[in-house]
Homo-oligomer: A and B are copies of this chain.
Amino acid sequence: MALDLLPVVSATGGACCTPLTRDAITEQAAVGLSQVLKALADPARLRLLSLIASHDGAEACVCDLTEPVGLSQPTVSHHLKVLVDAGLVTRDKRGVWAYYALVPGALDAVTHQLGTHLTAGAAS
């Protein structure tokens, strides 16, 4: 049994440990960030988001999204709903078509949080 699978009796001090340079992400922030990352963590949803981003004005008609991803219309609609629910895109029904647009700044907020909390802090 590897030692790192044993319960830790004392986790403070000792030669094993390096000092903290800043606070880690809070539990609440981690839950919020993980929810948006779960929405992103699917190949079809990444391709749909990228297709929307690739259209002029970062807005695309649903009629332009189904064929490129090679999935059925209901499956595409399900994935788009996950992206809407995560706050990454908006849905706007105009006439006979639904249009999906990137929410400005939504993905920047994700990458900012990743960069702030998950990259190396300053060395002491």
Binding site for B on A (CB under 8 A): 2-8, 11, 14, 16-25, 27, 30-31, 33-34, 37-38, 40-47, 49-51, 53-64, 66-68, 73-74, 77, 93, 95-98, 102, 104, 107-108, 110-111, 114-115, 117-121, 123-124
CB distance from A47 to the nearest CB of B (A): 5
CB pair B66–A8 under 8 Å, yes or no, is yes
CB pair B46–A33 under 8 Å, yes or no, is yes
Instruction: Enumerate chain B residues within 8 angstroms of A5, measured Cβ to Cβ.
Output: 73-74, 77
CB distance from A13 to the nearest CB of B (A): 10
CB pair A73–B8 under 8 Å, yes or no, is yes
CB pair A64–B24 under 8 Å, yes or no, is no
